[in-house]
Structure 1
Amino acid sequence: MVELEVAEIIGTVAFALSGFYVAVKEKLDLLGVFIASFLTALGGGLVRDMLADRPPYTFTHLLPSFLVIAVIVLSVLLQLHRKDEIEKKIYFIISDTLGLVSFSISGALIGLQVGFNFFGVVLLALVTAVGGGVIRDILLNRVPLLLTSEFYGTVSLLVGAILFVFAQFDIGGYVPVMVVFAFGVALRLLAYYKQWNLPKIG
C-alpha cells in the first residue's frame, strides 16, 4: 500500500529529527543521540507491529534505520545541535507534528488491514504515533509530551477515528489519506499556537 509506505517514511524522518532535537537539549553524547533518535522514530512502530501480530517493519526492512542514520548525520553536518531553545523552534514543532500525524495514519491503516474494530484502530494509531516518544521520555526521565502537550494525543485519536469511518464507507486511496494528513497537521499546529488544552482536573 503506497499510502502506508509514504506515511512510514515521513514519520520516520520527522520523528528521527524530533528525537535528535530532544537528545541535544538533554546534552546526550553521540550514542545517546542515536538511541534517542532511533527510539523516537522506530519505537512506536515496533509496539504497533507486536500488537498487530506482524513482523516488525524495522527488522524486515533496512530503509527505516538508514533514514534515521541519514537524519542524524545531516543534522550534525548542518549544526542543528548548536541551536538554542530547540523545542520552541518552528522546525522542531513541524517535524514533531509531521511525525505524529504520519505515524497515526500508518497505525490506523495497519489496524484496518488486520481487521481491528474501532477502538483497536484508534488505539493502534495512538500507540504508533506516541509510543516511541513515550519510551524516549521515560528513558530520559521526562514527562511524556503525550500527557502535557496541547491536543497531542487527541490529534492522533481523531486521525485514527476518521480513517476508520472512511473505511466503513469504502473511502480509500491516496487523496483521502492526504486530506486526513493535512487536517491532522493543521489541527496540531493550530492547537499549539492557540494553546488549546484538554480540561484538567483540579
Structure 2
Amino acid sequence: MDAMDLSFLTASLVTFFVVIDPIGVAPIFASLTEGSTPTHRRVMAIKSVLIATAVLFGFAYMGEWLLGALHVSLDAFRAAGGVLLFMLALDMIFETRSKRREERAEALNEADEEIAGTNEDISVFPMAIPMLAGPGAIASIMLFMNEAEGLGGQLMVFAGMGANLLLCLGLFLAVGAIMKLIGDTLAAMITRILGVILAALAAQFLFDGIRGALLAG
C-alpha cells in the first residue's frame, strides 16, 4: 500500500464515518425496531446494510454516467457535493440533523401505531435510504471514485465505505447495550467534533471543484 492509497483509505474512513454517522443512526434503528423480536431486528439490520451497500456501489460506477446524461460536469458536482457536505456538517455541529431524524422516526411511529412489535419492514426506508445511503454518502462515493487512481485507490474507497457499513451493522445488532454504554452526552460530543472535521473536508471539495472549473475554462 503506497502513500496515495493510504491517504484515500484514511479520507474515506473519516468521511463515510461522518456522513453515515453510525452513532447517530443507531438510536433511530433502536426506536423503529422497539418491541420487535430479536430475529426481526437482526433481519432488518442485515437488509438495511446490504441495500445501502448496493445503492452506494451503483452510484460509485453509474454516477458518472448519470452526470454525463444530465450534462453536469464533475467539477460542478464536486463543488455541489462540497456545499452539501458543509450543510450536513453544520447540522451535526448544531445537532439539527439528530432532531430531524428523531422527528422522522416519531412521524413514522404516528403513521403506523403498530410498528412496534410487528414485522414492519424498515430496511429500505428509512434505514437504507436515506439514513445510510443518503445524499452525503452518495456524493462522497462519487467524488472519491472520481479522484481515485487505479484499482488500488478504488479498493481503498470501498474499504472505507465497507468498514463504516459493517460498523453500522454491528451497532444495529447490539444497539441496546451500545446506547447504554455511550450515553447521550458522549454521543453529542462525538457528533460535534466530527461535524467540524466534515466541514473542513467539505471546504476542500468545494475549493477543488472551483479550481477545476476555472482551469477547464
Q: TM-score, length-normalised on structure 2? A: 0.36
Give the number of the structure with larger relative contact order, counting CA–CA contacts within 8 Å between residues 6 or more apart.
2
More helix by share: 2
Larger radius of gyration: 2
